[in-house]
Each structure stands twice: as C-alpha cells, then as structure tokens.
C-alpha cells in the first residue's frame, strides 16, 4: 500500500510533489497500489518511485522523470505523452513513454537509431589469433562499403548483460556475420553463447572455413539473400571462405 504521506503529497499537485522530492532527495517515494487514474503528472519527478500495483490509467505523463521505477502489476494504459496543443499520442508503458517522446523530439536519438538499423553490422565468433586475419578482412570490407562493424568475441568471458545487449543489437542491426568455423558445438548450444536467440534475426550471414564440422544452420538463418551488397564475385566477404 502507498505511504499515506506520499499519496497526500502527489494529490496536492505536481508542483508540491516535485518540491517535496527536491527537499527529500534520499526518501524513496512509495505510491504502490495508489489510484492515480486520470491524474495530470506533467513534469512530475518519479525517479526511484514504487508504483507497484498502482492504477495509472489515462494519466498525462508528458515530461515526467521516471527512471528506476517499480511497475510490477501496475495498470499503465492510455498514458498521454504529449502536451496540450500537440497531436495526442498514447502508450501503455511508463518507461516506454519517455523513450517514445525522446524519439519524437530529439533528432540526435533518431540519428543514432537510424545508424544502428542501417549501418551497424555485428561480427560474431571466436576470433583466436589464427582467425584474426579473417576478422581484419571482414572489418575492412565492411568499412569500405560504409558499414560500422561491431565485434563480439565468444572466446572472451562475458556477462549475461553483455549477451542480452548483443542479442538486442543483433535484432536491430543491418545484419550480422557469424563465424561458425572450428566450433566444438553447433549454433544454438551453450557453447555459442545464446546464439539461438541471435538466429531469430532474419539477416544473419554465416562465415565458414574449410574443415568445419558438425555445423547445422538454423532454418531462419539468411545466407545474405536480403543483402546482395554482401556478395563479391566469389560470394564471400573480404575473401573469407
């Protein structure tokens, strides 16, 4: 249940709430289970606020600061993210609301996302010293074609967060190149660091060397058909075979 003092303060209005938050920066605000439906929370500071189980239906959330909020089982439907006089845009997630508004109003963020989706190419594999020459060739060829190569080396230790980040980038990137040569396990096993989820990207081009054994392609792996610019005269990237 919400802290009665905190609930009373938010009902006084955003100006009073923000002033109280500024004067009490170390106090974690608790609005869990509160009925905030149709409240005008324009420019409210909700950083580190507990909103678990709160009802935020049809709230106005333009300009809010909602970092590190707890939203488990909160009702977040029809959140209005635009201000008066702008076309009305509604979303059903408080944290997504911030991102969508930034996307609409910040040209730099739009440019970054456009760069990721149109120019970034993930290079995935175990790039041991004997494979370094192939890695350099792939990188150089991609740079010549105007792409931005991003390397993820399976050989190095990695955290779960790193794997999740790479998986997300793989789904956003222009395409991914996966070096599956000399693998002890087939793709999709634990030895390949959650590649099963990466294969769900429709634009993954495997890069194989002669002698690779026990390599099985996932049905959704693209051989580059959707990216004809990948193919040179020998249908390889940077001469890698």
Q: From residue 125, how far is each of 130, 155, 199 by CA, in Å? A: 13, 8, 13
Scan for tokens 């060829």, then name that residue. 141
Name the E strands within the chain.
Answer: 79-80, 90-91, 120-125, 148-153, 175-179, 204-207
**Looking at 39-48, 139-148, 192-201, 219-228, which range is the least confident one?**
219-228
For 112, other C-beta atoms within 10 Å of its C-beta total 11
Q: For residues 154 and 227, is the Cβ–Cβ distance under 8 A?
A: no
The predicted pLDDT at position 181 comes to 62
Max mean pLDDT among 7-11, 148-152, 197-201, 237-241 falls in: 7-11
pLDDT digits (tens, 9 = 90+) for 72-125: 999 999 999 988 888 889 999 888 887 887 787 777 877 877 877 888 888 877
Please identify, in words, the CATH class of the domain defined by 112-230. alpha beta
Structure tokens at 21: 């938050």
String of b and e for 38-66 (b: at least 16 CB within 10 Å)?
ebebeebbbebbbbbbbbbbebbbbebeb
Q: Do the Cβ atoms of 175 and 186 come closer than 8 Å?
A: no
CA gap 26, 23 in Å, rounded: 9
**Residue 100 CB partners (closer than 8 Å, separation 6+):** 81, 89, 91
**What's the whole-model pTM score?**
0.55
Structure tokens at 80: 């209005």
**236: enclosing H helix or E strand:** none
Domain spans of the chain? 1-105, 112-230
d(CA 31, CA 70): 10
pLDDT category at 159 given cuts 50, 70, 90 is: low
Band (19; pLDDT cuts 50, 70, 90) = very high
For 78-96, b where at least 16 C-beta lie within 10 A, e where not — what string? Answer: ebbbbeeeeeeeebeebee
């Amino acid at each position: 249940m919400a802290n009665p003092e905190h609930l009373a303060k938010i009902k006084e209005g955003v100006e009073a709430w923000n002033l109280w938050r500024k004067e009490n920066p170390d106090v974690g605000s608790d609005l869990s289970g509160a009925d905030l439906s149709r409240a005008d929370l324009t420019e409210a500071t909700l950083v580190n606020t507990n909103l678990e189980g709160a009802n935020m239906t049809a709230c106005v959330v333009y300009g809010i600061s909602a970092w590190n909020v707890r939203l488990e089982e909160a009702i977040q439907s029809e959140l209005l993210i635009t201000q008066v006089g702008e076309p009305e845009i509604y979303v059903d997630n408080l944290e997504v609301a911030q991102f969508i508004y930034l996307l609409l109003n910040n040209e730099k963020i739009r440019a970054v996302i456009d760069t990721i989706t149109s120019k970034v190419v993930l290079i995935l594999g175990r790039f041991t010293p004997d494979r370094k020459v192939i890695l350099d060739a792939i990188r150089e060829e991609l740079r010549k074609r105007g792409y931005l190569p991003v390397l993820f080396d399976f050989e190095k230790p990695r955290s779960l967060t790193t794997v999740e980040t790479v998986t997300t980038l793989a789904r956003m990137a222009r395409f991914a190149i996966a070096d599956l040569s000399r693998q002890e396990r087939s793709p999709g096993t634990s030895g390949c660091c959650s590649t099963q989820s990466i294969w769900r990207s429709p634009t993954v081009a495997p890069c194989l060397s002669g002698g690779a054994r026990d390599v099985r392609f996932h049905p959704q792996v693209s051989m580059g058909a959707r990216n004809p610019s990948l193919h040179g005269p020998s249908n390889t990237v940077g001469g890698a075979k």
